[in-house]
Chains A and B, each alone.
Chain A
Amino acid sequence: MRRILTSVFWVLTLSESVIAADVVPAVDRRFASKTAETPSFQRHVLPLLGRLGCNGRACHGSFQGQGGFRLSLFGYDFEADHKALTGGDKPRVDREQPEDSLMLLKPTQELPHKGGKRVTVGTWQHRIIQRWIEAGAAPAKDDDAEFMTLEVEPKEIVFQKLGESKPLKVIAHWSDGTQEDVTPLCRFRSNDEATASINESGIVTATGKGDTDVVAFYDNGVAPVQVLLPVSDRIGPKYPSVPTPTKIDELVVAKLRKLGVVPSDLCTDEEFLRRVSLDMTGTLPTPREVTDFVADKSSDKRRKKVDELLERPAYAAFWTTRLCDLTGNTESTGPLGGEQALNREKATQWYLWIHRRVKDNVPYDKLVEGIVLAVSRRPDQSFEDYSAEMSAYFRKDNPVDFAERDNLPYFWSRRTVGKPEDKALSFAHAFLGVSLQCAQCHKHPYDQWTKQDFDQFTAFFNGIRFGDSTRDRETSKKMSAAHELVGDPDSGTYKRKFQSLLEEGKVVPFKEVAVPVQKKVAARAKSAKSNPKLGRVITPKLLGGEEVIAGEYPDPRQPLMDWVRQEDNPYFARAFVNRVWSVYFNVGLIDPPDDQNLANPPSNPALLDYLTAAFIKSGYDMRWLHREIANSRTYQLSWRANETNQLDERNYSRAVIRRLPAEVAADAVELATASAEERRQLDEDPINTRAIGIVNGHVGAKANNYAATLFGKPPRQINCDCERSNEPSLLQTVYLRNDEEVLKRLANKHGWLNELYREKNLDRDALIREAYLRTLGRPPTEPQFELARAYFKESKDNVSGLRDLLWALLNSKEFIVNH
């Protein structure tokens, strides 16, 4: 550290062209010619190696190394990297004869180097490495100043024309107050090369119309800069007057104004009703509803419809499905052993537990708390009472309602989260919308997370375990013995016996999710301190936050939950707001929605900030959020583009056409062809009758969701929002065209057609109209009417004509998309 300060001082006094008095000029100038300065390993040498690509995964960052030399992938393991350079059988650094160092001879190709020529002798890059070796190749030290933040100038780039360029300047801030221009040591990336490119010197060039971010990386700092080139000349004073009735609209239009993108017009009433019904309740409107809504002359009818939809059973059913996606509710990952046979029933309980809270509009943070802090038994509950409680949920006669339980422990009893690392990954994905997978093994290539951050975050989950009660082994054995429940718990006989005892209403011992008592946590923390392999203290540390003394809390997840709830928590509320937004607009403000990272900034930061803050202020009121979004003019825009916004898919200037979500698509066929009685059941009891209901946590041939699976229902087995697919596929089209399930809905024995089959006097035009209303939520246009009438004339009778028309409508693009 002292050496750095000295050299800084030296530079400051000698250099005449310091930009700001306190910013150290960039290394490419300081090392341009012979110098006495000693570069720092952490500040200069390693960033330079990163910049030269040495620690990339195809080179020495590969886990096997390359040519017998390995660096930590994407850098940041200063200790290991220093050791790799200076130690081993074949050190890359020769302190005695610096000029003979492999670290100089290889990248200059004075000795053969498979990675090619990376450095030229006599350049500043060469000189940095050379000077570092000459001065003794010192490592980073524990008392070195810490890297604080990265600051980029300018904060935003607005280009005027294609091909225009602008340089970035990147300043690193250190904990001792020093600042240095690190532009030549940064790695740069453009998030969309078709809009803006950035070269290795940090010069940004406009390559296309629209907006994106370019990102600078240095140390564990990540700094994005928004770059935009207006799409049209309708900017500034030339921008037309656009209504912005809500805060969302104001913030959306504020950005569109810069981009010269004019929003589309408002969508029609029919479009609005179909769109909001599908997005909010996963349900097609009925013909009657469409007609009534269009006929309603009141000016606030859209607002009233939103309120009405939020009270429908399908709203709770559909959004429970979304929350089950996030929390990973599937019978396929439930525990093994005696309880294995209960996994389907547990998936049902899981669904119903969340459903109750969505229906009652329990605040989102409360709902999550019930999952995050769950332990299987109350502190005062004996093992017998606990087992009796659990058993009562599964008995055949009069089972106790699981949704009444305060908490849902099944999130932690999944087989996929057995290890603390898995728990950390799952928690971060589900509730923070952050992917930490990369940092489990190496520095995250695009985010600030280091392996140490990951290890420290994982420490929160160390004590949470699921299994047989350790305290009550004897009681448990006795309970089993009383019912002759013996043998291998993994055998079919045992599992069947376990289940049948429960059905009979007997009490059997249950495994439990538990956290260790306080003493244990303290002991664990102590042992972690002496873990020689890591050489560092593993203190639980919040992501980007503070270290926590876990031993002070009986449950290490408590400080985590407290942190999540802080108003300035950077992830929790944001992740949820962003995910809900992405359902209504096809893309998240941050997209993909589970990839909140510094290099992937929101397309409209002000808008996400506003919604997040307001959602917290509403008391995490989920219905408020839905209402706020659906009542915005932005949500109600037409999909029809104008000449400025036809390519816009991320700034919300028009509705984006998207495929119906998997379960909604499966249900839509059913709804569109339902008899009046079927429709009533589907509307009243969606959780038991529809693909958006309980069935979505079930798997296997008996689960009856062939169609939902085909359309991309998430298996809920891994930590990724990408598990849900909205992609089209050949087999989806084959399904709609010709699958027995669909054709059955069009047969005379089922649904609407069955009702009509028995009728004598059918009004042809009314049938055509209703077929359109049922499927597309709008009446036919006049040419479409004509087409259908002509088709009916050539058909055997009205019902067979209608069957073909209904088939064609179910197979139209307009049916399978929301628009």
Chain B
Amino acid sequence: MLQPITHCNPTLSRREAIASSMIGGMYWSLSHFLSLSARADNQSPKAKSAIVINLGGGPTHVDSFDLKPDAPAEFRGEFNPIDTNVPGIQISEHLPKLAQCADKFAILRGVSHSIAGHELGTAYLSTGNRPVPSLIYPGYGAVVSKELPGSADLPHFVAIPETPQKPGYLGVRYAPLRTNAAPKAGTPFSVRGIALEDEQSIEQFEKRQKLLTQLDTTFEGQAANSKLLDGLDKFDQQTFDMISSPRAREAFDVSLEKSEVAEPFGESKFGMSCLLAMRLISAGVRFTTINFGGWDTHANNFKSCKENLLPQLDAGLSALFNTLATRGLLDSTTIFVTGEFGRTPKINDKAGRDHWPRAMFLLLAGGGIHGGQVIGASDANGMGPAGDIITPDQAAASFYHSLGIDHRKEYHTATGRPVMIVREGSVIPGLFA
């Protein structure tokens, strides 16, 4: 374990503090730094589970959570800001429901990096590590399922309907269960592998399992000498528990949810995915991720945002925050929302915006995170960070911190190389309540 240089503060090393205070030409006073880092420090983790929402394609920051009403016309865009339920914080007029629960989440502005490609950008934002050619870093879901093992009869990591996150050097054991589809409103929903409806009844499954146990005897007594056989036996038991117990099946079936609970989520794919994520977390699944694509708005940015993307996001996400809060689960669940980058503040000739990693937004909520605040800022036209940069590494470190995972913990790759969960990260000062 690399020793932090300063002893007073395990979350922010002196080097990082100096580095972050130098970037953007801003110099913090030492006392300012100390007061902030002390705040970051005094946090005991609260979250036991997490939801990561990937806005695939790169959502436009200046039209959603970082509006620039005073910017010149070629930057400003068509949307107006509205007030939220937190005085002083404004977001897009097409996010009215989120505006009414802005006290529940923190908005990070001026998050910044330099990778403008979808795949690598996504890899960066899904791991907190800038991608390198020699190693595939594990995504949030893999790390969380390794660090916080959940109950045996539930999948530990569910992707709705899929995810760009990879288990990387942690191996296939930490790969997600993909639902491959989003649920439809009012329709029973089941997931491949977990379902036991048409093809197999529970009774039949148990009958088959009994036959399997009786005939699978060739390697009896060998498990002690073979890690593989031992592993197969363990997964056999766990699979049986998961499929035969109603817990997992019912967690996936969103049609079992009361209509007054389901309604606010809306009937869109994303809304229904949020409803499913909420049910899974309530049932005890550790980690759920939702993939919500379509944000790559090179053309017709305003039309797509206004008519499609923002309303879906608004309904689904606000319902997710509110329902978790009502159920008393928001404190024990960290929610992380972002895409791979922001979009060019300057509008292109197709009324679109292009890839822009220099400035983007990120939402963090639950898990002891202090909602109703904005951290960081972008400059006048949303081109880059104003003042201190917030890096994807810091966001990742903060995410792990909320779950009580030390982001400096080292794993060893197959070749024995030591690698930290997030090497360059540090907890964002002021984020936690």
Query: Is B216 located at the chain interface by the 8 A CB criterion?
Result: yes
Q: Chain B residues near A435 (CB, 8 Å)?
A: 415
Query: Is B308 located at the chain interface by the 8 A CB criterion?
Result: no
Q: Are B235's CB and A808's CB within 8 A? A: no
Q: Are B232's CB and A813's CB within 8 A? A: yes
Total contacting residues, chain B, CB less than 8 A = 59
In the complex, identify which listed stretch (B132-140, B251-259, B390-398) lies at the interface while the others stay far away: B132-140
**Given the complex of chains A and B, what is the CA–CA distance between A718 and B415 in angstroms?**
13
Q: Are B172's CB and A729's CB within 8 A? A: yes
Within 8 Å by CB of A720, from B211, B229, B231, B415, lies: B415
Q: Are B1's CB and A58's CB within 8 A? A: yes
Query: Is B379 located at the chain interface by the 8 A CB criterion?
Result: no
Q: Are B162's CB and A701's CB within 8 A? A: yes
Query: Is B309 located at the chain interface by the 8 A CB criterion?
Result: no
Q: Are A813 and B229 CB-contacts (below 8 A) given A332-B119, A710-B175, A731-B175?
A: yes
In the complex, identify which listed stretch (B30-38, B220-228, B366-374) lies at the interface while the others stay far away: B220-228
Query: Is B208 located at the chain interface by the 8 A CB criterion?
Result: yes
**Which residue from chain B places its CB closest to the CB of A784 in the assembled complex?**
B215
**Given the complex of chains A and B, what is the CA–CA distance between A805 and B235 in angstroms?**
20
**Given the complex of chains A and B, what is the CA–CA distance between A438 and B135 in angstroms?**
12
Query: Is B421 located at the chain interface by the 8 A CB criterion?
Result: no
**Given the complex of chains A and B, what is the CA–CA distance between A194 and B233 in angstroms?**
26
Q: Are B177's CB and A734's CB within 8 A? A: yes
**Given the complex of chains A and B, what is the CA–CA distance between A238 and B81 in angstroms?**
89
Query: Is A712 located at the chain interface by the 8 A CB criterion?
Result: yes
Query: Is B212 located at the chain interface by the 8 A CB criterion?
Result: yes
Q: Are B177's CB and A657's CB within 8 A? A: no
The minimal Cβ–Cβ distance linking A656 to chain B, given in whole angstroms, is 8
Q: Chain B residues near A817 (CB, 8 Å)?
A: 228-229, 232
Query: Is B243 located at the chain interface by the 8 A CB criterion?
Result: yes
Q: Are B199's CB and A743's CB within 8 A? A: yes
- Interface 1/0 per residue, A235-268 and B, CB below 8 Å: 0000000000000000000000000000000000
Q: Are B415's CB and A808's CB within 8 A? A: no
Q: Are A728's CB and B232's CB within 8 A? A: yes
Q: Chain B residues near A788 (CB, 8 Å)?
A: 215
- Interface 1/0 per residue, B228-246 and A, CB below 8 Å: 1101110110111011000
Q: Are A718's CB and B195's CB within 8 A? A: no
Q: Are A805 and B192 CB-contacts (below 8 A) given A66-B5, A718-B133, A813-B229?
A: no
Q: Are A595 and B205 CB-contacts (below 8 A) given A715-B136, A808-B211?
A: no
The minimal Cβ–Cβ distance linking B367 to chain A, given in whole angstroms, is 26
**Which residue from chain B places its CB closest to the CB of A722 in the assembled complex?**
B414
**Given the complex of chains A and B, what is the CA–CA distance between A58 and B172 in angstroms?**
30
Query: Is A162 located at the chain interface by the 8 A CB criterion?
Result: no
Q: Are A733 and B235 CB-contacts (below 8 A) given A657-B222, A727-B172?
A: yes
The minimal Cβ–Cβ distance linking A124 to chain B, given in whole angstroms, is 28
Q: Which of A44-60 touch B at CB < 8 Å?
A: 57-58
**Which residue from chain A places its CB closest to the CB of B157 in the assembled complex?**
A731
- Interface 1/0 per residue, B1-31 and A, CB below 8 Å: 1110100000000010000000000000000
Q: Chain B residues near A730 (CB, 8 Å)?
A: 155, 173, 235, 238-239
Within 8 Å by CB of B199, from A733, A747, A813, lies: A747
Q: Are A727's CB and B193's CB within 8 A? A: no
Query: Is A814 located at the chain interface by the 8 A CB criterion?
Result: yes
Q: Which 7 A-B pairs have the closest CB atoms?
A: A722-B414, A808-B212, A734-B193, A733-B235, A812-B216, A728-B231, A733-B239
Q: Chain A interface (Cβ within 8 Å of chain B)?
A: 57-58, 62, 64, 66, 114, 332, 336, 416-417, 422, 425, 435, 437-438, 491-492, 592, 595, 641, 646-647, 657-659, 701, 710-712, 715, 717-720, 722-723, 725, 727-735, 737-741, 743, 747, 784, 787-788, 791, 804-805, 807-809, 811-814, 816-817, 819
**A720-B414, A727-B171, A812-B215 are known contacts; what are 16 more A-B pairs with Cβ within 8 Å?**
A332-B119, A425-B134, A727-B173, A728-B173, A729-B175, A730-B155, A737-B243, A738-B200, A738-B205, A787-B215, A804-B211, A808-B208, A808-B215, A812-B218, A813-B216, A817-B228
